[in-house]
Amino acid sequence: MAEKQKTSWVYTPKAINTRRGLLYGLTDLMGGGWNNIVSGVIFVFVLSQGISPLFTGAVLGIGRIIDAVWSLFFGAITDRFYRTKLGQKYGRRHFFIALGGILFAILFPMFWISTSSWQYYLWVYVAIEVAISMILIPWETLPTEMTPDYKKRTTLSGSRMFISATGTAIVFFTLAVLKSFNNPNAYLYTGITWTVIFVIAIFTSWRASWERPLTPEFLAELDAQPRLGFSGFMKKTVTDYFGTFKNKSFRKHLLV
């Protein structure tokens, strides 16, 4: 395994500097842009297709609930993926980032197709949320894989706020420009444009990052973690999730 990793870029560390931080942070172009699409664009678009506010709200509400449940367990899936041949060859994080990026490239333009079926928008929206979670959850863990140095991890993560804000600007600027032409397919063209921009950002970040090599020492550290059956895994995940509410500062932040 170690010999294979020597030839794989996904396990090859590189110098961490401001440029590397910007390249790593590019995924948040999609992260920040998607949040604003959800909060400001999707509701208006679905309403414009003649779907009632009740069902439009159901699309977003049901989608968010399913995404929350999926995200609850997906992190643990990526943590354990190193035990598979795919995880060892492509990286337990990078495999899912790439898979999520491919699914996003396929699914995201589909959402902007005009139809009167709210169920269509619901299922495509849920699928997009799942794909985005497959990208963001493993991506957010990469700084701790790329370096143990706190200052270098800060360099990697420091660009995210700026890039996220840029994603917000791109979303509304692109939509405003394309809608100004009064084209009936403006939303579809906008969705395709967003897809191209976000997918380029995702795969640039994917290629510019790496994971901690699966050395015998690291494998021993990972294998030392207790192995739980499905019921034990479910119990621990739910317990850990609700355990965060014991933190007073977290409760105050959530309330705000």
Instruction: Please write the tens of the pLDDT for every residue from 164-185.
Output: 888 888 888 988 888 888 888 8
Task: Give kind and range of the element (H or E) at residue 244.
Answer: none
247 assigned to some structural domain? no
Look at residue 105 and tell me whether its pLDDT is greater than 70. yes
Q: At 12, is the pLDDT very low, low, confident or very high (cuts 50, 70, 90)? A: very high
Is residue 243 in some structural domain?
A: no
**pLDDT of res. 227:** 66
Distance CA 241, CA 221 (A): 23
In our burial notation (b when 16+ CB lie closer than 10 A, e otherwise), range 158-193 reads ebbeebbebbbebbeebbeebeeeeeeebbbbbbeb
Q: Is residue 64 part of a domain?
A: yes
Does residue 256 belong to any structural domain of this protein? no
User: How many structural domains does the chain have?
Assistant: 1
pLDDT at residue 223, rounded to an integer:
78
Q: Which domain holds residue 195?
A: 2-13+21-225
Under the banding of pLDDT at 50, 70 and 90, the label for residue 152 is very high
CA distances from residue 38 to 8, 32, 113, 115 in whole angstroms, order as listed:
37, 10, 16, 18
pLDDT for 40: 79
The rounded percent of the chain whose pLDDT value lies above 90 is 57
Is the pLDDT at 211 greater than 60? The verdict is yes
pLDDT of amino acid 244: 65
CATH at 127: 1.20.1250.20
Quick check: 234 pLDDT over 90? no
Report pLDDT digits (tens) over 48-57.
999 999 999 9
Q: Mean pLDDT in the chain? A: 87
Least reliable range by pLDDT among 38-42, 102-106, 249-253:
249-253
What would the pLDDT profile of 58-74 be if each residue is shown by its tens digit? 999 999 999 988 988 89
Residue 255 within any structural domain of the chain: no
Is 185 inside a domain boundary? yes
Residue 248 lies in a domain: no
